[in-house]
Amino acid sequence: MINLITGGAGFIGGHLADYLLGQGQEVIVLDDLSTGSFDNIAPLVGRKGFTYYVGRVEDEALLERALSACDRVYHLAAAVGVRLIIDDPVRTIETNINAAQAVFGQAVKFGKPVLVASSSEVYGKSEDLPFSETDDVVYGPTSRARWSYAYSKAIDEFLLISYARTKGLQGVVARLFNTVGPRQTALYGMVIPRFVEQAMSGGPITVYGSGEKERCFAHVLDVAPALVRLMDCRRAYGQVVNVGNDDIISIEALAERVRSLVNPDAEITHISYEEAYGAGFEDLGSRQPDLSRLRELIGYAPAHSLDDIIRDVESHTRTSGTTGHTVHDGAPGN
């Protein structure tokens, strides 16, 4: 089986490529290295069955070359991070929508199945936990750039479902919740790599707001195989499926957990959202996936706990050094 992974030099894409190669499958990565990093695929270069192209998904000829050579497509290429979205909303919207359109169009032409990575951001400001795939969603106004990410991901989902209904595309939407693990950069503000690096460098660990907001964190080593099993599951085609972990924890409790595992001497401080993200930023409420559909489709049972995630991020950071970027108050948002 030959797998094309767009965005394969990203954090999740790199782990997915690694997992597939480990299963004896072949992998072609297509990535423009904008938010992805060569470091994520460097260990794979030279491995049997691994090929990569540096370029954009919107480059029609390149996409056609890669897509016609594969059996299935994992479309993971997307704009990452709320800071980028606020700074460059045009790029977010265009990258997310144009790339999906290009991939789905060619996947229909060549008859290749697609898994597209979406995001729990699609649930917007909903407060009705846990979030189910058929729930209503609530978004902020279009005058706030941060919502362009949720809207553009929702359009990707509409596109896949519509291509499936009307053009015969075989494909599934994986709505990813917080996914964490080794090699995730703290550069885009993701909370666990930030907290671990902060604790390792003596603190303080910076909790935004009161720390009451809750999240569920999945280990990327659970998520990557789940994506492959979803792709293998024909019953999933045409559907949206939540992917993640459903153990819920407040950000304050997370900070305490990181402190107790990584550095009991680190201080925990609270800083306002305004200080962290700038005036007018709207943080989201708590988030937890309803995983019934995922369990029913692939019998999903995550093997890694939150403590495993924290320990793995810590040991990776220790062996590779930090991301090389100072993690301080007001650093880039997620």
Residues of span 236-275 touching ligand UDP by CB under 6 A = 251
**Contact indicator for 133, 174 with CB cutoff of 8 Å:** no
Options 189, 225, 289, 332; binder of ligand UDP; rule CB under 6 A: 189
Provide the 8-state DSSP code for 207: E
86 binds ligand UDP (CB under 6 A): no
Residue 293 binds ligand UDP, judged by CB under 6 A: no
Q: Which lies closer to ligand UDP via its Cβ, residue 3 or residue 334?
A: 334
Helix (H, G, I), strand (E, B) or coil at 114: strand
Q: How far apart are the first and last CA of the chain?
A: 34
Nearer CB in complex with ligand UDP: 59/256 = 256
The rounded distance, in Å, linking the Cα atoms of 74 and 69 is 14
> Looking at beta carbons only, is 215 or 293 nearer to ligand UDP?
215
Residue placing its CB nearer to ligand UDP in the complex, 104 or 208: 208
Cα dist from 210 to 136, 137, 252, 273, whole Å:
27, 25, 8, 10
Residue 239 in 3-state DSSP? coil
- Do the beta carbons of residue 154 and residue 122 sit within 8 Å? yes
Taking the C-alpha atoms of residue 77 and residue 19, their distance in angstroms, rounded to an integer, is 18
**Angle of helix 191-200 relative to helix 306-320, nearest 10 degrees?**
60
DSSP 8-state symbol, 139: -
* Between 91 and 213, CB nearer to ligand UDP: 213
Q: What does the alpha-carbon distance between residue 295 and residue 285 come to, in Å, rounded to a whole number?
A: 25
Length of the chain: 334
Pick the stretch among 16-24, 100-108, 189-197, 218-226 that binds ligand UDP (CB under 6 A): 189-197
Single out the catalytic residue among 53, 149, 151, 300. 149
Residue closest to ligand UDP when measured from CB atoms = 334
Please count the CA atoms within 13 angstroms of the CA of 311 that sit on its side-chain side.
Answer: 5
Q: What is the side-by-side strand order in the sheet with 26-31?
A: 50-54, 26-31, 2-6, 72-75, 114-119, 171-176, 240-243
Helix (H, G, I), strand (E, B) or coil at 268: strand
Q: Please, what is the minimum distance in Å from the beta carbon of residue 191 to ligand UDP?
A: 3
Q: What is the smallest separation between the CB atom of 274 and ligand UDP, expressed in angstroms?
A: 12
Considering only residues 183, 194, 259, 293, which one is a binding residue for ligand UDP as defined by CB under 6 A? Answer: 194
CA distance 30 to 66: 8
| Tokens 């297509």, located at residue | 30
Name which of residues 200 to 239 contact ligand UDP (CB under 6 A).
206-208, 213, 215
Q: Does 283 bind ligand UDP (CB under 6 A)?
A: yes
Residue 155 beta carbon to ligand UDP: minimum distance, rounded to whole angstroms: 19
Q: State the nearest-atom distance from the C-beta of 277 to ligand UDP, in Å.
A: 8
The separation between CA 64 and the C-alpha centre of its own chain, rounded to angstroms, equals: 25
Nearer to ligand UDP, 240 or 251 (CB): 251
CB of 307 to ligand UDP, least distance (A): 17
- Min dist. Cβ of residue 141 to ligand UDP (A): 19
Interface residue with ligand UDP, options 93, 99, 150, 190 (CB under 6 A): 190
Show the site string, 148-187: x = touches ligand UDP by CB under 6 A, - = not.
------------------------------x---------
149 among known catalytic residues: yes
Closest separation in Å from C-beta 309 to ligand UDP: 12
What is the binding site for ligand UDP (CB under 6 A)?
178, 189-191, 194, 206-208, 213, 215, 251, 283, 334
Catalytic residue positions, numbered: 149
